[in-house]
Amino acid sequence: MFENTSDVTTSSSAFDIKELNERIQRESAFVDLLMLEMDKVIVGQRHMVERLLIGLLANGHILLEGVPGLAKTLAIKTLAAAVDVQFSRIQFTPDLLPADLIGTMIYNQKKEEFTIKKGPIFSNFILADEINRAPAKVQSALLEAMQERQVTIGEQTFKLPEPFLVLATQNPIEQEGTYQLPEAQVDRFMLKVVLSYPKKEDEKKILRSNMSGDFGSNVNKVISPTQILSARKLVRDVYMDEKIEQYIVDIIFATRFPKENKLEKFDGLISFGASPRASISMAIAAKAYAFIKRRGYVIPEDVRAVCHDVLRHRIGLSYEAEAENISVEQIINEILNTVEVP
């Protein structure tokens, strides 16, 4: 008699996934506490709050696009207070220098030597407000810190604190006096989140909260930076089936070769598709989304939930697409409707 090893392997892996699922349900309990703290202050921006948590858990940075006054600063400030980490807000302006961001060397006359003065980048959470207002040198200094997680001042290299999260904002309306981020730099942001105005009911709640006088003053520390770092490791362990991996690759390839993926109408409308970094970002963001939903495995809906935020800044439109008023959102919707769901 020969034992059917494939059945044993299947039941063993099923047991492992069940065990992992139970563990993640236990370990992700802090997500609800974080959400509760955020809800005390942030009204009607659930999508943005969830994306902030995805960025935090997936060790990725976020580019936020929205008109002024939509609680972008308040959201990251509240998250920093709830996680008990350092927060820095940097207002990007045309006269900003890289030294204003990362720090510089100052000559100490008393000691007759140069000492290093660290810049505001040495915090856990960074709000880079209106990133497109600063020149390319400053943008590249920030993006290098984001990518390498370290800063070099003079001859010394310093590691940035962990967890490290950059939330960059840009105003979509004003383009005068701005420096557009090059595609290669925009690609370093895991997610690009577009914010819209709150609904009428939410606006009334915002109004009442502000009039009461204690708006945002009662945020409790619910998690430590160490717990966030261990949660990040757990997010990587979230189970992703090979079929889901294939689904992600199919979506990415549809942005590069629309004609070969039953999207002939977009042929000539996409000037460039998503990079391999998009595949990685989509996989880890889907895992983080599953973790937030307190599941130990990824389902196709997790991929679809993060798809727009991962892809909207990674697809280039041709002049023909702009002439025909075709948006990136329309292309992503069509890709999701065409690519076969596992």
* Burial zone of 292 (CB within 10 Å; 0-12 exposed, 13-18 middle, 19+ buried): buried
Q: Residue 140 falls within a domain, yes or no? A: yes
Are the C-beta atoms of residues 45 and 151 closer than 8 Å to each other?
Answer: no
Is there a single domain that holds both residue 170 and residue 90?
A: yes
Alpha-carbon gap, residue 79 to 125, rounded angstroms: 9
Q: Residue 165 falls within a domain, yes or no? A: yes
pLDDT computed for residue 12 by the predictor: 43
Alpha-carbon gap, residue 193 to 138, rounded angstroms: 22
For residue 245, the Cα-to-chain-centroid distance in whole angstroms is 20
Are the C-beta atoms of residues 54 and 191 closer than 8 Å to each other?
Answer: yes
Are the C-beta atoms of residues 143 and 188 closer than 8 Å to each other?
Answer: yes
Is there a single domain that holds both residue 157 and residue 259?
A: no
Task: List pLDDT tens digits, range 204-220.
Answer: 887 877 777 655 557 88
Domain, as residue range, for 135: 45-197
pLDDT < 50 regions, the chain: 1-12
Torsion, Cα 327 57 288 328, to 10 degrees, reads 0
Alpha-carbon gap, residue 280 to 176, rounded angstroms: 34
pLDDT computed for residue 13 by the predictor: 60
Alpha-carbon gap, residue 15 to 332, rounded angstroms: 36
According to DSSP, residue 197 is labeled: P
pLDDT computed for residue 63 by the predictor: 92
Is there a single domain that holds both residue 171 and residue 273?
A: no
pLDDT computed for residue 105 by the predictor: 85
pLDDT computed for residue 7 by the predictor: 45
Q: Residue 218 falls within a domain, yes or no? A: no
Q: How many domains are there within the chain? A: 2
CATH of the domain at 59: 3.40.50.300
Task: Establish how many alpha carbons lie within 13 A of residue 215's alpha carbon, considering only the half-sphere containing its beta carbon.
Answer: 14
What tokens appear for 99 in the block? 């030294």
Q: Residue 129 falls within a domain, yes or no? A: yes
Is there a single domain that holds both residue 49 and residue 190?
A: yes
